[in-house]
Amino acid sequence: MKGTAGSLRGAGRWRCARVSALLVAAAMLAGPAAAAPAAEVLRWKFRPGETLKFSVEQKVVMSTKGAEVERKSTRTHTLDFTWKVLSVDTSGEAEITHRIERIRLKSEEPPLATFDFDSASTAPPQPGFEGPTRELKSQVGAEFTFKMKPDGEITDIKLSEETLKHLRETAPQGAGEAITEKSIKDSLIQASPPAFPQEAVEPGKTWTARPARLPLPFAILVMDKTFTYQGSDSGSPNVRLVGIEVSAKTEPIEGADIKAAIRKQEGKGSLTLDSEAGKVTSVRMSQKFEMAITFMGQTVEQTTEMTSAMTLKP
């Protein structure tokens, strides 16, 4: 069973490190917010030429038990990115360029060496981590454009040939062929903010996001989000509060020898919207799930705790 746990960790260690910054950024903008005490139609508001600065931090703590072996890993991923509004048409639809500005990653998995990366650092790569360092550095400066309707629907995602080529060339050996424009667009759309409800919303109104489908080495992790408007912030009349509930399930991959099932889970979060500015200002999430992973008749118990926070910087 040591081989099973090791193979799972090996498959996941740099898969986690290599999670596209584009997807992380999109996934953290989990959805627009809700209304004031009076019914209100919610819309994004953009101005041509403005630049929005976001920071996202995600921490994942994973514990694995099986065959008298217990291991724990911690990964903290911090991403800074900008949205530059290129234009806004008469309907309020904006064309936006998303750019990765900085990436920080700290991965701890005893007894392995700790990987501590900052794209702003000029220090040489850590010995033994030259590949992951190259992959992460290659993502800094990556850009893609998209259009966002006033209700929050994202369309017309475009990646430059240079960005696509760079991602392929710096991918782990054998993984570059799987990186296509379609695969990236599909992933971005799945992780993008759900649209606001078309109608005016009042406290208690709920809506859902399109499920996110995240590939694991042995299954597909399907994440569902439900948003509930909770009213205005009593201390900030322009701030709208939204609660988030998250549920997850696994779907088997055909032909996979490893089976996975979620036995216990909980997930919640919050979102704030500045209704006057028409901007999501923060998204905070906390998730925990316990999974049983079975291979060749033996079972590994895996507990994953994830916390994340996205903030709009001044």
Residue range 4-36, pLDDT digits in tens: 444 444 444 444 444 444 444 444 444 444 434
Say how far residue 36 (Cα) sits from the centre of its chain.
28
Q: CA nearest 79: which of 103, 97, 99?
A: 103
Q: How many helices (H) and strands (E) does the chain have?
A: 5, 13
Query: What pLDDT was estimated at residue 69?
Result: 78
CATH code of the domain in which 195 resides: 2.30.230
- How far apart, in whole angstroms, are the C-alpha atoms of residue 191 and residue 212? 6
Stretch 151-174: mean pLDDT? 74
Chain-wide mean pLDDT for the chain?
82
| 241, 227 Cβ separation under 8 angstroms | no
Domain count, the chain: 1
Q: How far apart are CA 190 and CA 26, in angstroms?
A: 9
Question: Structure pTM?
Answer: 0.79
The per-residue pLDDT for range 256-273, each reduced to its tens digit, is 788 888 999 999 999 898
Predicted local confidence at residue 188, as pLDDT: 65
Instruction: Specify whether the CB–CB gap between 307 and 58 falls below 8 A.
Output: yes
The Cα 240–Cα 273 span in angstroms is 5
The residues near 56 (Cβ < 8 Å, ≥ 6 apart) are 24, 25, 28, 78, 79, 80, 81, 308, 309, 310
Return the number of other C-beta atoms located less than 10 Å from residue 241's C-beta.
19
Backbone torsions φ then ψ of 195, nearest 5 degrees:
-70, 155
What's phi and psi for 225, nearest 5 deg? -125, 135
**Domain assignment of residue 161, given as a range:** 2-313
| CA 2 to mean position of chain CA atoms | 30
124 Cβ contact list (under 8 Å, min separation 6): none
pLDDT reading at 205 higher than 60: yes
Structure-token pair, residue 212: 């996110």
- Residue bearing the bigger pLDDT, 302 or 181: 302
CA distances (Å), 308 to each of 25, 56, 59, 66, 180, in order? Answer: 11, 7, 6, 28, 28
